[in-house]
A and B are shown apart, each in its own frame.
Chain A
Amino acid sequence: MPDLLPFLKDLLSAPGLSGYEDPAAEIISARWKPLVRELSRGRLGSLHGFRPGSGPEPRPSIMICTHMDAIGLMVTGQTGGFLRITNVGGVDARVLPGQLVTVHGRRDLPAVVAQPPARLLPPEIGENPVPLDSLLLDTGLPPKQVAELVRVGDLVSYAQAPMELAGEVICGHTLDNRVSVAALTICLEELQIRPHVWDVWAVASSQEEVGTIGATASSYELRPSIAITVDVTFAKGPGASDWGTFPLGKGPTNTVGPNIHPALQKAIQDLAEKLEIPCTLEYTPRHTGTDGYATQVSGEGIPTAVIGIPLRYMHTPVEMVAIKDIQRTGRLLAEFIARLEPDFTGKLIWEQE
């Protein structure tokens, strides 16, 4: 996919906070349109793309789930032309002071997250981080104009533009999880020239950051035979070096843990080894913190796997991902789908006691 980067940059520059994913869904729809037979939106906002397989009906189906929603902020009030804010999704208030943001008011307004001078803050804060409820947004406009243009509930996105850094990495906000949407897009493009027996549901899910809501609805509606969630995982880097972190640019991860069907996980790992795609096992003893948590318990239960793309500085406006890892993930997905045999679900068995 030679034009991956322009597409990814468009996607990273689009708003689309949890529950308000339309701007991202439009860009993804335009890209997926020639790659799928049908496009539809789930009741809670997920985007569903359907590619029929070539096998006899009734065909099994695989869902690839990549959430498209972004974390961000929401306006909760105004005071003297300044805006009060709360978070949408997991935001560490310590990355906010001095950030450029876009307030999606009656029109988009550039604004800055203001850390008020110490004399205007509760004295106990001192040199500690200023909590979210004491931070303000400033458009610089006069109060009257702010009152006309902004109201409670307006959304706020990070304004950091995507950047390409040394070592072929991309950097910016909302790489979590639009790099996975890009990987799924690579997969769909590869499937254009790779026959596949199974039906494929490509899902850009909504509201993951507020509790895997879109994936819950979509996996119930689509009832796939198996589901693979692709989401970002923690890359090693400053502040992240523990066992649960993975080298940037050294391939995706394949999760082992209670959210995952072990036979599906093993099939993916076997294939990665066969294809010589580096793929590290990621051990997640409890909740994966991904859409896989929701797909597994949908309906009567769906065998689920979770593939991770290592990302540095998660949930900051300067998230970093190696482009090669996006490409590897897309290829692994496509190869997995193309090699699915009609009776693969029969192989998803638990070891006998």
Chain B
Amino acid sequence: MAAFGNPQLKLLERLCNASAVSGDEGEVRRIVLAEIEGLADEVKVDALGNVLATKKGTGRNRPRVMVSAHMDEVGFMLVAEEGEGLYRFETVGGIDVRQLPGKAVLVGKDHLQGVIGARPIHLTTADERRRTIPLDTLRIDLGPGGKAKLGERATFATRFQRNGPVLIAKALDNRFGVATLIELLRHAPENIDLLAAFTVQEEIGLRGAKVAAHAFDPDLGIAVDSTPANDLPSHDGEENNAYNTRLGLGPAIYIADGSTLSDPRLVQFLSATGDALGIPYQFRQPGGGGTDAGAIHRARAGVPSISVSVPHRYAHTAALISRVDDWKNTLALLQGGLARMSRDVIAGSR
């Protein structure tokens, strides 16, 4: 198995600290292109901005395996200027407006610092404090005289940090996946053709994956993403039986989400891989949500697909929390799975 340690975490840090709101993924794309240079037989950037990298194996009867990770993150777009460094903005992707007041943001390619403030508590009424602050009253404030261009994107300003087993960062969803794909390309096995898609616009409707899967025309697809761990206590002390995933229990294998029924043979294959290699894994609770697999499995004449995610808490907020070991085990499970992959896996009965 490939090494896991500081170089991988440093790569993840650079990826998390980069800004890449859906439709404006250039900063992450540049890191990806630089990291995978020389690792693949062919690399291209398609019409939407996906990075498509092909690394051919050498064995006979190799399956074409697509792995997909979205590069984009949720964020903001500046939509109107009010002078004196104040800007109206809209959200891009599913952001809870309650997560916005009192946050630092970074605007545009130059990471211009700004803030989203809130009315001083002293000037609010008790009644007002029981109501959510609406988006149309919030502003990105660059400071008096601060200048940005309308249409520029902004992200939360959180910088990546590690505290022992814990990672705290923005955009772990889905820089985990991006970093994983880079590592998979670095150590691509010879028994498959590895088709790595670093996709755009997942957060606004799996749009990059749709065309990437069409272009690759794979035999099977694996979306590598990051999924919520809602493993917090319930307010009433009752058992939390809707946790989705739990931090610390390893990669989350998908059986069903809001857009995809995973191919049962791939569920069986990946869990058997984990068992055989002694890698912990968990099944994501079947339910809503979705990944690039939602687009991949519908491509062309259909592509047997599955998703594997690194769990994180606090999806689509300024500060997500994850565990180093969950990522390490996700990478190990996928490396182990790809090394054991053959056409037989998807030839058998369901």
Contacts and interface: CB of A to CB of B under 8 A. Distances in A.
Contacts of B119: 238-240, 313
Contact of A110 (B168, B230, B314): B168
Given A116-B235, A316-B101, A92 B129 contact: yes
A127 B132 contact: yes
A76 interface: no
B349 interface: no
Interface in B99-137: 99, 101-104, 112-124, 129-133, 137
Interface string A124-163: 0001111000101011111000000000000000001001
B235 A313 contact: no
Interface residues of B, number: 65
B98 A115 contact: yes
B233 A239 contact: no
B86 A238 contact: yes
A318 interface: yes
Interface stretch (A62-70, A166-174, A341-349): A166-174
A100 B319 contact: yes
A94 interface: yes
A140 B144 contact: no
A141 B86 contact: no
Contacts of B101: 94-95, 316
Contact of A140 (B104, B113, B163): B163
A233 B99 CA distance: 26
Given A110-B163, A166-B146, A97 B235 contact: no
Contacts of B168: 100, 110, 112, 140
A92 B124 contact: yes
A313 B230 contact: no
Interface in B133-171: 133, 137-139, 141-147, 156, 158, 161, 163-168
A128 B132 contact: yes
A5 to B, nearest CB: 14
A318 B117 contact: yes
Interface of B: 85-86, 96, 98-99, 101-104, 112-124, 129-133, 137-139, 141-147, 156, 158, 161, 163-168, 228, 230, 232-236, 240, 242, 247-248, 313-314, 317-319, 321-323
6 contacts: A79-B233, A90-B122, A97-B98, A98-B99, A99-B318, A115-B317
Interface of A: 79-80, 82, 90-100, 109-110, 112, 114-117, 119-122, 127-130, 134, 136, 138-142, 160, 163-169, 171, 234, 237-240, 242, 244, 248-249, 289, 312-318, 320, 322
